[in-house]
């Protein structure tokens, strides 16, 4: 019986540890040839070490799979182009790009430095755009040449971005931008045989271990394992998923769900006098669903006092 991703070529960014490592191992176990991309830096993006990426490559080879390490920065224009070319040069094609690389520089808005904002936006948002751009150019050229294309871009957003989390205006803005990027890129690439989806993971990794209470039991630790994120990413990477695009999936040890985007809520006729808007806006807001909290449920978002 053929495996889910047999013969497909996949790039996974930030694949040396945590969630990205699980993606790479899962894809390889289902037959994909994997480019394991990772700078090997710290949680804040500093430093570099190719050994984590190489270790994942060795794990994949030990299970009988094919993989190669890549240390290019996904937020570097030339590096992103080299990353895509690495897959084509090494394995002869490209089918899947999983944009997973990320860093954290958490700070309350009134204390955030310009560099802390720029670094996070650069790695997450540009680091999603740049590899996607070169992958899409590759697929578009193949499609225009009359060759079959069954491409996949799978981005990593976050509940911090689509729902909101204090102390993460930089990270949340980048992740919300990735959700919007996913929707628009899906519309642009559909004609070329490429789907674009995103996953909002919740898992305990070195990036998140300090953001909440530590797991108290083995059951809690298992529920927060990054291994729960890889199955939906692996399925979205497969040929089976060609009918699904422009979607954001929440994934964790607690739930697998589709996150629904912005929709127009309560409405009224346009008003040209701001002095009468008070009761009109109060009525509209009163009818609208409350903003969701980090659990995705309406009403969980703190309301102003």
d(CA 59, CA 25): 8
Burial (CB < 10 A; 0-12, 13-18, 19+), residue 101, is: buried
Kindly give the pairing relationship between strand 248-251 and strand 256-259.
Answer: antiparallel
* Active-site pick, 138, 163, 171, 192: 171
What lies within 8 Å, CB to CB, of 252 at 6+ separation is 201, 202, 203, 223, 224, 228, 229
CB atoms within 10 A of CB 212: 11
- Is 138 labeled as catalytic in the residue annotation? no
Q: DSSP H helical segments within the chain, as ranges? A: 18-29, 51-62, 77-91, 114-121, 127-144, 159, 169-189, 218-223, 230-237, 277-287
Size of the chain in residues? 305
What lies within 8 Å, CB to CB, of 300 at 6+ separation is 163, 290, 291, 292, 293, 294
d(CA 172, CA 165): 7
**50: helix, strand or coil:** coil
- Is residue 18 a contact partner of residue 203, using CB atoms and an 8 Å limit? yes
- Is residue 246 a contact partner of residue 36, using CB atoms and an 8 Å limit? no
What lies within 8 Å, CB to CB, of 218 at 6+ separation is none
- Is residue 56 a contact partner of residue 35, using CB atoms and an 8 Å limit? no
d(CA 37, CA 130): 14
Catalytic residue numbers read 171
């Amino acid at each position: 019986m053929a495996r889910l991703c047999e013969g497909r070529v996949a790039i996974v960014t930030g694949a040396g540890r945590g969630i990205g490592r699980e993606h790479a191992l899962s894809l390889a176990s289902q037959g994909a040839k994997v480019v394991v991309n990772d700078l090997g830096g710290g949680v804040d993006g500093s430093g570099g070490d190719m050994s984590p990426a190489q270790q994942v490559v060795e794990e994949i080879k030990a299970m009988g799979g094919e993989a190669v390490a890549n240390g290019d920065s996904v937020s570097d224009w030339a590096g992103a182009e080299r990353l895509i070319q690495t897959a084509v040069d090494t394995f002869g094609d490209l089918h899947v790009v999983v944009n997973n690389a990320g860093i954290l520089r958490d700070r309350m808005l009134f204390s955030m430095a310009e560099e802390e904002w720029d670094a996070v936006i650069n790695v997450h948002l540009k680091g999603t755009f740049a590899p996607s751009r070169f992958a899409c150019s590759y697929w578009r050229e193949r499609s225009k040449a009359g060759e079959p294309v069954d491409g996949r871009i799978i981005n990593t957003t976050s509940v911090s971005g689509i729902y909101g989390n204090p102390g993460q205006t930089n990270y949340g803005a980048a992740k919300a931008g990735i959700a919007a990027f996913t929707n628009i890129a899906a519309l642009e690439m559909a004609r070329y045989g490429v789907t674009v989806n995103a996953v909002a993971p919740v898992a305990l990794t070195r990036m998140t271990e300090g953001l909440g209470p530590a797991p108290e039991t083995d059951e809690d630790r298992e529920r927060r394992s990054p291994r729960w994120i890889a199955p939906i990413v692996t399925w979205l990477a497969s040929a089976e998923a060609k009918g699904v695009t422009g979607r954001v999936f929440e994934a964790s040890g607690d739930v697998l769900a589709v996150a629904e985007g912005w929709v127009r809520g309560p409405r009224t006729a346009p008003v040209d006098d701001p002095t009468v808007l008070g009761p009109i806006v109060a009525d509209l807001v009163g009818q609208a669903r409350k903003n969701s909290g980090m659990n995705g449920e309406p009403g969980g978002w703190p309301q102003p006092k």
